[in-house]
Amino acid sequence: MRPASLRPFLPHPTLRQRLPQGRPYTIQSPGISNLQVFDSNTKYLQRERAASNAESSRSVDYLRDEVASRLCERLLDINRHFPSVLDLGANACNVARTLAIQPPPTPNDPPLHTRLSHLTSADWSPTLLHRDEHLPFNSHLPSHTRTVLSDPDTQPLPFASHSFDAILSSLSLHWINDLPSLLSQAAKILKPDSPFLAAIFGGDSLFELRTSLQLADLDRRGGVATHVSPLADVRDVGGLLQKAGFKLLTVDVDDIVVEYPDTFALMQDLQAMGESNAALVRETNAGLRGLGRDVLLANEAIYRELHGQGGERIPATWRVIYMIGWTAGEGQPEPLKRGSGDVNIKEILEAGNNGERGTSR
């Protein structure tokens, strides 16, 4: 949320005079976020570096492919054809690959990609976006283009108003600093009565790693530092969508548990995904030495003790928040006016309570 610009109160006659050159006042430039949680340049470099090793990057697509599949299932629940669809924050075009190669729910159903005419995949990392452009799945789509986006903290989305019939976004928006602004832009480039479907990592993702690293830090260094980036809470998502102008909201949560041989393999996969910590308050910005060998070994032992469940492998929980919102359009159901109800909910609750008291023993 952007605070209102501050301006000192001056009487009307004073406004005609030349103000003295004292302390200057500044206002926020339009389109530039004043809320900085993540280091956008660091996140850009992390994703670029991860995608530069294509084979390693593909080996950790298991989570993005799974979430893209579940997100596309939600799109198929909408019984209509979509002439133009935007995949916002496409990563390595995981949604495009899902639409191209995933079989339909039943053998009698048409292929998934026939539900749309054109797909635009857009992302802020050019290397990741074009990583798989030579693979066969690209030719299975009716029409597919890739668009490289500029820094989301300084540049708006480069699409005209009312350009798309649907927007999908899979596991990308959780790194955006000014998420309310981006959601508002998404609502503007959608046509009326069009859906916005997104999936992001939620605040409880990797809670096992968060707790074990905090305890290891406290044990070995006598303090706690930020090693896992903060994420949005599911309770805030509905309000963000509503503020952006979306209607008919649906928000649900899905926990995906992945098992790893040890914490070192988990952190190695995070790095290969480009999902490493990019918070502004991480230790590299604070001038500290970062995680040392003693902290990492303590973290491994604590993680297994708290969450290992006695097995050789350790679980890691990824909390995925799915959100669906619709732009306003004709024919959409609207809530009735306040006070127009015919049934008093108080009478129903009182009748239920009286019935329970009458049958209790």
Q: What is the pLDDT of residue 284?
A: 52
> What is the C-alpha to C-alpha distance for residues 197 and 234, in angstroms, rounded to an integer?
15
Q: What is the pLDDT of residues 227-260, one digit of tens each?
A: 676 788 888 899 999 999 999 999 999 999 999 9
Per the model's pLDDT, the better-predicted residue between 197 and 4 turns out to be 197
Percent of the chain residues past pLDDT 70, beyond the cut: 82
Reported confidence tier of residue 116, pLDDT bands at 50, 70, 90: very high
Q: What is the mean pLDDT of residues 119-127?
A: 96
What rounded mean pLDDT belongs to the chain? 83
Q: What is the pLDDT of residue 227?
A: 67
Considering only CA atoms, give the Rg of the chain: 25
Statement: residue 115 has pLDDT above 60:
yes
Statement: residue 334 has pLDDT above 80:
no
Q: What is the pLDDT of residues 152-194, one digit of tens each?
A: 888 899 999 999 999 999 999 988 888 899 999 999 999 999 9
Q: What is the pLDDT of residue 247?
A: 92
Question: Can you spell out the DSSP letters for 78-101?
Answer: S-S-EEEEEEET-TTTHHHHHHHH
Q: What is the pLDDT of residue 154?
A: 84
The region of weakest confidence among 42-56, 61-75, 230-244, 257-271 is 230-244
Please provide residue 230's backbone torsions phi and psi, each rounded to the nearest 5 degrees: -70, 150
* Chain mean position to CA 297: 31
Q: What is the mean pLDDT of residues 101-114?
A: 82
Reported confidence tier of residue 27, pLDDT bands at 50, 70, 90: very low
Q: Which two tokens stand for residue 358?
A: 């009458």
Q: What is the pLDDT of residue 185?
A: 95
Q: Which of 60, 49, 132 is nearest to 96 (CA)?
A: 132
Q: What is the pLDDT of residues 189-230, one digit of tens each?
A: 999 999 999 999 988 899 999 899 889 888 787 766 666 767
Reported confidence tier of residue 353, pLDDT bands at 50, 70, 90: low
Statement: residue 1 has pLDDT above 80:
no
> What is the C-alpha to C-alpha distance for residues 234 and 203, in angstroms, rounded to an integer?
7
DSSP lists the bridge partners of residue 324 as 197, 250
Residues 152 and 125: beta-carbon distance below 8 Å: no
The region of weakest confidence among 102-106, 108-112, 210-214, 353-357 is 353-357
Q: What is the pLDDT of residue 20?
A: 41
Q: What is the pLDDT of residue 18?
A: 38
Q: What is the mean pLDDT of residues 285-309?
A: 78
Q: What is the mean pLDDT of residues 343-351?
A: 78
Q: What is the mean pLDDT of residues 299-311?
A: 88
Q: What is the pLDDT of residue 255?
A: 93
Q: What angle is formed at CA 70 by the lines to CA 92 and CA 259, rounded to 5 degrees? A: 80
C-alpha distances (whole Å) from 357 to each of 174, 287, 344, 351 are: 49, 65, 21, 10
Q: What is the largest CA-CA distance in the chain?
A: 84
DSSP 38: B
Q: Which of 66, 34, 43 is nearest to 124 (CA)?
A: 43
**How many Cβ atoms are within 10 Å of 302's Cβ, its own excluded?**
20
> What is the C-alpha to C-alpha distance for residues 142 and 98, in angstroms, rounded to an integer?
14
Statement: residue 22 has pLDDT above 70:
no
Per the model's pLDDT, the better-predicted residue between 281 and 261 turns out to be 261
> What is the C-alpha to C-alpha distance for residues 311 and 351, in angstroms, rounded to an integer?
52
The region of weakest confidence among 13-22, 151-160, 292-301, 305-314 is 13-22
Helix H or strand E encompassing 293: helix 293-307
Q: What is the pLDDT of residue 325?
A: 95
Q: What is the pLDDT of residue 60?
A: 95
Percent of the chain residues past pLDDT 90, beyond the cut: 52
Amino acid letter, residue 316: A
pTM here is 0.79
**How many Cβ atoms are within 10 Å of 233's Cβ, its own excluded?**
12
Q: What is the pLDDT of residue 54?
A: 94
Per the model's pLDDT, the better-predicted residue between 34 and 172 turns out to be 172
